[in-house]
Structure 1
């Protein structure tokens, strides 16, 4: 079984790496995109933000390319799903409402985001999870 490379500029937890490895253990492809969707999430009622995670297979480990957390913005029927947080390991940048920053700028925020996401995914099981490969 391939593992997830955690030697990254953000503190990827072992729990997160193991959960991702379990999700992609039977994937026979060079790349996979995992989508996490709360079927009840809407601009009117809220819910758990959609998340997309992209991994590419290296020689002996999966490499995290990006983790993107989306949210709705807009008013009165003019809603749009946009990136709220984007941890882009491939490009070494972090994007948020603050703008585009070096990824290390998310060192304090990332563990909080990850802990919450793992709780929603693994404990509360609020997401429908789907994968697509290239």
Structure 2
């Protein structure tokens, strides 16, 4: 009967893990700018009624179709580092002239009851979002 030594087995497993890591890194590198990140939006506090939405650079994410249950219902968002996201009251990521119907948020966890507005003041943007768009910083 063929007998494997523990040293041989550990070496084989290490080589397999290394090959998998190199392969995964190559796939991620090949995707480059196509790689998406997720923004988590919640209808309640963070962890309550949350959905993780993949976002592409400057793509408009309308809260319709399969996301219609989020329309005018977002209370919190978790934005990953390296992104800035604009949340709009209107579909199509359109802001009305004069502003005040959108908020721009950077990385972090945000409670929409009090977010930075277009002026220095904080605003209540709870349950107002119909679309959002994110871009890399």
Answer whether TM exceeds 0.5 for this pair. Answer: no
Q: TM-score, normalised by structure 1?
A: 0.33
Q: TM-score under structure 2 normalisation?
A: 0.33
- Answer with 1 or 2: which has the greater Rg: 2
The structure carrying a bigger helix percent of its residues is 2
